[in-house]
Amino acid sequence: MTYTDATSSGLMSSDEAKQSYIMGIQSAHALETQATQLINRQLERIESYPEVAAILRQHYGETEAQLQRLDGILQELGTSSSGLKDFATGLSGNMAAMAHTIMSDEIMKNHFANVAFEAFEQATYRSLIAMAQATGFQHHVAIYEASLREEEKTFATLLNMTDQLTTKFMQLSLSGEQAKR
């Protein structure tokens, strides 16, 4: 069978389609592993922005739950996360967070990266929903939708605080206080 083969119901039931789906889940797992690294590095350094730290701590818990959900789906499918993908993206997350530490506006760079990352995660879960539906794993859709809602909420929270965070950063900078983090 090829990837485009479908059953009479229009589902992609080939081994190749299932493998593509599994690869998508493993990539999402790696992405969430990267998110945990980004959040941890930022939490280690935040000093003047407790409102940002609170959002990151809450989302860290959600991210851990998302990883567990993905692990459960992978286990159901008879496989596991990709250690290589998890390692590479985790390392990438650490490097990205560390790159911002030398910037005089570290908090702002991290904020912009976090907003973009949340959009990336939303797209990932939307893709997994489409893949689950296309391959006949409809029972996974609700799991992905739960994660998508969490990502949408965090995205909206971060995006909506941009003005306030920018103003606070500027005020701290002008007063000579620790503004960058």
Residue 7's pLDDT is what?
42
C-beta of residue 138 within 8 angstroms of C-beta of residue 132:
yes
Number of domains in the chain: 1
Distance CA 102, CA 168 (A): 20
CATH code, domain with 131: 1.20.1260.10
> Domain range holding 81?
15-175
List per-residue pLDDT tens for the chain, 181 residues long.
Answer: 333 444 434 567 788 999 999 999 999 999 999 899 899 999 999 999 999 999 999 999 999 999 999 999 999 999 987 665 556 665 565 556 556 555 578 899 999 999 999 999 999 999 999 999 999 999 999 999 999 999 999 999 999 999 999 999 999 999 877 776 6
Q: Does residue 46 form part of some domain?
A: yes
Number of helical (H) and strand (E) elements in the chain, helices listed first: 6, 0
In a domain, 2, yes or no: no
Residue 8 placed within a domain: no
Whether 4 maps to a domain, the answer reads no
Q: Rounded to an integer, what is the distance from CA 105 to the centroid of its chain?
A: 23
The answer to whether residues 101 and 44 touch, using CB atoms and an 8 Å cutoff, is no
Q: What is the pLDDT of residue 23?
A: 94
Any domain includes 7: no
Residue 10 lies in a domain: no
Q: Alpha-carbon torsion 121, 62, 64, 98, what sign?
A: positive
| Residue 26 maps to a domain | yes
**DSSP annotation string for 15-42:** HHHHHHHHHHHHHHHHHHHHHHHHHHHH
- Which pLDDT does position 13 carry in this prediction? 72
Residue 1: inside a domain, yes or no? no
